[in-house]
Structure 1
Amino acid sequence: MTEQPMTEQNHPGRVLRDLSHGGIVEPTEVRTAVTRELAEVSTPFDYLFETIRDDPAAHLPDDDPAAIVAALDTLGRLMVESQPPPQDPFQSGDGNSTIPAVYTYLGQFVDHDITANTDRPNEIGHVTDADLHPALPADVIKNLRNLRVPALDLDSVYGDGPTFPGGPQTEAASLYDGITLKLGRIALMSKPGTPPIQGARIPLQADLERDVPRGVGDNPLQAGIGDARNDENLIVAQLHVAFLRFHNRTVDWVRRHEPQHTDEKTIFERARQLVRWHYQWIVINDYLATIALPGVVDQVLTEGNTFYDKRAGEVYMPLEFSVASFRFGHTMVRGAYDFNRNFGRQGHVLPSAPFDQIFRFTGKGGFGGQADTLPFNWVIEWDRLVEKDPRFPDHFSRKIDTRLAFALGEMANEIPNPAPGPDITAILEQLAVRNLRRGYQLSIPTGQAVAEVLNLVPLTQEELRQGNSDELNTHLANSGFLDRTPLWYYVLKEAEVQSNGNSLGELGSRIVVETLVGQVRHDPGSFLGRSPSWVPEDGVLLPDGRPILTIKDFLRFAGVLPTRP
């Protein structure tokens, strides 16, 4: 027996072609990122912990915002490694976790699928504001709107779907070729008049490895995908390609195995349902089980949510999640990757793929000035990011801790053109500084206050000092952050202290798991909302009949990872 698809979406999808991180633009430009009015396509933000939302003691002080902002800026800079990685980026060290690197970017993909609008100038302000200060929580709830539906429904991939004969023209129509999602070809040579691209040909899916077509709107380098943020670095961009290919292969699977779906619209809806359900299942049972403390996912699935629920009948995005806890993935980013046989171990071109190059060879970076689409020698080899082989510690993410890779302190890709003044540039290029400023501006409670609500023993001052440099510990003491710790920093330090950086700690696990499981549970179209007994064995299967249980299996079905015994 097969589950029947939804006949219509229970919430609107949208295409965010012009949305990116950072960017100094007017708040009204965010509204033009979609073709309908903001109120029609947005969903609410709110605070997860209402009992402390308006309690001044539960927040960083607001009596001298300039001093607090300066202290946060210093803290953010001290969190970043002070020098680039060694010449051998693959040397073993204590900075590697036990989490394969793919989960860093699966987390980024999830974030883009459920949240948009906190990283851009908006109705509350921007992290570069000269008079940055905490907004009243009531004003944040009233004025800040999420441009995504927090439901893990892949509207970042599907938008509002294809246009069917006799139906209305959809916003996402240009993303489709019939009921399949468009894919383009990689660049096999450089533009005329430029030096040839060096490197050995990679015998992978050479004609299906780029999220194109290009030439959308006025930007010839703009990717034809449902969320422009998924074209900001090569790893998340090619993960998006895997989702496009997974959908297209699922369409073929439905045609072969479920002949009761006869017309194109029904086939599409069934394929989309299956892709969404596999994705939701993997996020809950693979991703969350990997990054959270053991047992937390099972507890929330069996006992229900304790803190996260609908507000006024609506599913909302908790600010403590989106602005603080779920940003743990930033510390997992490596400064260099064993990317493929051209840019990796014994590489034909470089011994690794440096972080700046991963950003450079995207639509945002103009593909390094060499091609309109991805050069063939930058096709990712996913086995280098998914395998748990202890011989290659660099195939794992960095630990979840309070130390960020050097590259995240010099993010030139976040600087708009023309460049703003040096003060704004200094903020935009420092990821940790932006995170801490945003948390203060949006009145996110402290780690200690959240721990109390969760009935957890807060980290001690000694634990907050553990493993830090003398300079950092002096700053934590002088700034008062040992008593009132910014939630993002607290979540990272908790993971470092309680799990050696190999998973989130108690507080971080609870917020992240409750939020994501709760959002799937409250979506009537999800597998938890529509068919809680559904398991991957009831969905599409690998060629050998095995179910899709992990992101590795997902990549195999998509055809971007070789199928092995």
Structure 2
Amino acid sequence: MKWVLPLIAAGLYLGYLYLGLQSHVDEKPNLTRDVIEKAVMKAKAIVDSAYEYSRKECIKRVKKNAAKPSDILLLMKQPVGRTRTAVRAADYMNNAVNFIRASLGKHHKCSINATDIISEEDLQVISDLSGCTGERRLPSCKTIPNLDRFRTITGVCNNRKNTLYGSANIPLTRWLLPEYQDKISLPRGWDPERRVKGELLPLVREVSNQIIRTANDDIENDPHFNFLLTIFAQWIDHDLTLTPHSPVIRSYGNSIDCETSCDRTEPCFPIPIPSNDPRFGRNSDECIPFFRSAPACGSDNTGHVFDGITVRQQMNALTAFIDASQVYGSVDVKARSLRDLTSDKGLLKVNDKYNDNGREFLPFSPMDANMCATRVAITNISNAKEVPCFFAGDERVDENIALTSLHTLFLREHNRLAHALARLNPHWDGERLYQEARKIMGAYFQVIIFRDFLPPIVGPEIFATKLATYPGYDENVDASISNVFATAAFRFAHLMIQPFIFRLNEQYNEDPNFPTILLHRAFFTPWRAIFEDGVDPVLRGLLVRQAKLNTQDQMMHDELRDRLFEFTSETALDLASLNIQRGRDHGIPGYRKWRKFCGLSQPSNFKQLKKVLNNGHLARRLLDFYGTPTNIDVWLGGMAEPFVPGGRVGPLFACIITTQFQMIRDGDRLWWENPGVFTEDQRNSLKETSLARLICDNTGITKVPLDPFKHSDPSTFTDCNRIPAFDLSPWEEDYRRRR
């Protein structure tokens, strides 16, 4: 019994210490308004200085034709307009809170959340002064006109009950709790020496080199689907997701340049280059620059003010709805800037300097920082002049010339519809023509995605089970995009991209004047469309040439791994490394947890992983790097799975993709099949929507495949004059009376 009393005494002493420490933590000083205001002013000054420095540096390098690949990625993912305001407010608040915490003394250093030491009342004042409160304020739907007929550009008030569901500039949703290194905001792997489940996380570039790497010449072509399927996947993604980066290129605390330093300091999360890297050589001390995604207002350690979520959340700058926002934009200011308001015809702006054999080109971007013009000097094309980037609803319009071609196609279709509707209803003003054409365009994509695109991706069996039947609108469904969908699952098509952009002549043969080019020579090259025979040759290449087939031993080729946005000798980016690093940045849980989420088996050892992957060699290599299946990054784990029957993704990504599209459809009050959105006759017309017909109507191509994504020989293509035109007659206002 003699050891009992000392134990009791020790327990009482530890309890005393705990209560003492807890009392210190629970003490929340009454901050004066003056202290809070000074902290917010200091935060604003530092954030604004970093923003301005970053903006000037990027513009300066671009204007000097000295843009780095990281500049391109930064500019492409920059928050703009309303999104930039939201991101700036979040940065103001986070920095102000950090300044106050730092000033409150060492006895608070062990606290985790801001509310451990700052009262919720004071946090609310900080939120008000920083602008975060306004960013999270629910909009009023009462003053929005035609809310039952047309979508808002931002997606607000689609859901009358939960007015922000699916709207732009809200946090990505979480289907599983995030796994951050510090439980709040630091990425998985922020400290490379910190073990996860007893194992060190592998360097993402090492994983890319050893598991994902494929030479351009070693790829396998898809025997069933064409390259259009791949680019259309990118087109859809740009309608649904854009996670903005932090706008700064140097850290807030110590002004470290994210592009030149390997230090990990917010928002810099650089990708180390392993020794003996095949591109960078032995013992490289370089890093691939990587910028963290911007935090959403009211997340991180300030979330108690809003919804009680105290972990870092990332934003989606786009609406979650299939609404053609890559054509029209997701913020009102941009949507208006894309319209041709010089006439009352409901048209979108077109290029006023060049045309494509009499057809319209996209307008040029009004932005000062123009990375597109830099490409001409590098490619040594003597007859090509420097031209600006194109301007469209999505900032990524110029990312590659194939994507640019789709943007051009659908710009033309909007204007074609507006002209046709004006002939049917001469009394309609420009606003009505614009909104009706935009509404039809959104319905086009809803039909094409569900009827033609999703079955080849998730497989006809899974599609038939989960997506084939429309159950009707459900206001309790949140259509918002999930973090795992945006960051992992819907990046499946990165492994279906060919290392070439194919360009074919009218006979569907290689064009001797403008031949097929390597992919890295097609990044940000609008001048190729203008000076190299327009978009038709590229579209023919998409229709005829096969997609790359993702196989377990031929994942991503070197055009994307070693030459992404390669303009000069500066370090090009690696898309595989970026994808894995982004998942860690967002705190996305590992592979096994997502398998459990989807009701699939959760492999815990080599034998079980071998069974899931049906590949012992790949299972062993993954475990050599990760140690446990639990730590496998979900993007890599999902891409490593064998395809579901008839599909182009494995069971995990098929589950995540179908779940997300169910929510997008069922949570959309203005879905094309929802009664009252369109008339019955209009719905019957929309059912016959044809991507083949859209190509016929807006290009010089005269023969097309009826199945737009199936690989087939041009000899089997159908003449455009045999494909029925889209029937617009149900949109004539006296249509019913005439019938």
Q: Distance in 2 between matches of 1:61 and 1:348?
A: 50
Q: Distance in 2 between matches of 1:133 and 1:525?
A: 34
Q: CA deviation at 1:101?
A: 1.0
* Among 221, 225, 234, the residue aligned to 2:388: 221
* Corresponding position: 1:547 with 2:669: no
Question: 1:484/1:243 Cα in 2 relative to 1: closer, same or farther (>3 Å)?
Answer: same
**Over residues 536-565 of structure 1, what are the superposed CA-to-partner deviations in whole Å (9 max), with x where a residue is unaligned?**
963768xxxx9214x334323434642153
Question: 1:302/1:356 Cα in 2 relative to 1: closer, same or farther (>3 Å)?
Answer: closer
Which structure has more RCO (C-alpha within 8 Å, separation ≥ 6)?
1
Where does residue 477 of structure 1 map in the other structure?
Answer: 624
Normalised TM-score (structure 1): 0.71
Q: What is the 5 A alignment of 1:402-421?
A: 403-413=555-565, 419=570
Question: 1:528/1:340 Cα in 2 relative to 1: closer, same or farther (>3 Å)?
Answer: same
Gaps of 5+ in 2: 1-58, 60-67, 87-134, 137-167, 195-199, 253-265, 273-289, 301-309, 371-386, 703-719, 723-739
Question: 1:260/1:314 Cα in 2 relative to 1: closer, same or farther (>3 Å)?
Answer: farther
Where does residue 317 of structure 2 map in the other structure?
Answer: 147
Q: Distance in 2 between matches of 1:302 and 1:360?
A: 38
Q: Is the 8 A contact 1:96 1:396 kept in 2?
A: yes
**Over residues 65-106 of structure 1, what are the superposed CA-to-partner deviations in whole Å (9 max), with x where a residue is unaligned?**
4575543321122344443327xxxxxx74425222112111
Where does residue 46 of structure 2 map in the other structure?
Answer: none
Q: Distance in 1 between matches of 2:315 and 2:693?
A: 35
Q: What is the 5 A alignment of 1:154-553?
A: 154-159=324-329, 172-176=336-340, 178=343, 179-184=346-351, 205-208=356-359, 210-217=361-368, 219=370, 221-257=388-424, 259=425, 262-301=428-467, 315-341=479-505, 345-349=509-513, 352-359=516-523, 361-362=525-526, 367=527, 373-376=530-533, 379-386=536-543, 394-399=545-550, 403-413=555-565, 419=570, 425=571, 429-458=573-602, 460-463=608-611, 473-474=620-621, 476-480=623-627, 482-494=629-641, 496=642, 498-499=644-645, 502-529=647-674, 531=676, 538=683, 547-549=688-690, 551-553=691-693
**Over residues 480-526 of structure 1, what are the superposed CA-to-partner deviations in whole Å (9 max), with x where a residue is unaligned?**
254532111122122x35458x5222221121122123123322233
Q: Distance in 2 between matches of 1:186 and 1:207?
A: 12
Question: 1:559/1:342 Cα in 2 relative to 1: closer, same or farther (>3 Å)?
Answer: closer
Q: Distance in 1 between matches of 2:656 and 2:427?
A: 40
Q: Is the 8 A contact 1:114 1:150 kept in 2?
A: yes
Normalised TM-score (structure 2): 0.56
Q: CA deviation at 1:358?
A: 1.8
Q: Is the 8 A contact 2:595 2:601 kept in 1?
A: yes
SS in 1 for 2:631: coil
Q: Distance in 2 between matches of 1:559 and 1:351?
A: 19
Where does residue 231 of structure 2 map in the other structure?
Answer: 105
Q: CA deviation at 1:404?
A: 0.8
**Over residues 96-128 of structure 1, what are the superposed CA-to-partner deviations in whole Å (9 max), with x where a residue is unaligned?**
252221121111111112211256668984552
Q: Distance in 1 between matches of 2:680 and 2:497?
A: 31
**Over residues 172-205 of structure 1, what are the superposed CA-to-partner deviations in whole Å (9 max), with x where a residue is unaligned?**
33542541112337869xxxxxxxxxxxxxxxx5
Where does residue 128 of structure 1 map in the other structure?
Answer: 270
Q: Distance in 2 between matches of 1:344 and 1:127?
A: 45
Where does residue 698 of structure 2 map in the other structure?
Answer: 558
Q: Distance in 1 between matches of 2:520 and 2:422?
A: 42
* Corresponding position: 1:47 with 2:174: yes
Question: 1:146/1:214 Cα in 2 relative to 1: closer, same or farther (>3 Å)?
Answer: closer
SS in 1 for 2:391: coil
Q: Is the 8 A contact 1:186 1:208 kept in 2?
A: no
Aligned residue identity for 2:692: K
Q: CA deviation at 1:349?
A: 3.6
SS in 2 for 1:382: helix
SS in 2 for 1:339: coil
Gaps of 5+ in 1: 1-17, 87-92, 163-168, 189-204, 388-393, 420-424
**Over residues 6-60 of structure 1, what are the superposed CA-to-partner deviations in whole Å (9 max), with x where a residue is unaligned?**
xxxxxxxxxxxx9x99538989x9444548732385122121235999999xxx9
Aligned residue identity for 1:510: C
* Among 19, 37, 40, the residue aligned to 2:85: 37
The share of aligned pairs that are identical, in percent, is: 17
Question: 1:52/1:439 Cα in 2 relative to 1: closer, same or farther (>3 Å)?
Answer: closer
* Corresponding position: 1:85 with 2:203: no
State the number of aligned residues.
483
Aligned residue identity for 2:433: I
Q: Is the 8 A contact 1:150 1:316 kept in 2?
A: yes
**Over residues 323-349 of structure 1, what are the superposed CA-to-partner deviations in whole Å (9 max), with x where a residue is unaligned?**
000000100000124322399844304
**Over residues 134-191 of structure 1, what are the superposed CA-to-partner deviations in whole Å (9 max), with x where a residue is unaligned?**
99996386542211111122222113799xxxxxx87533542541112337869xxx
Question: 1:184/1:135 Cα in 2 relative to 1: closer, same or farther (>3 Å)?
Answer: closer
RMSD: 4.5
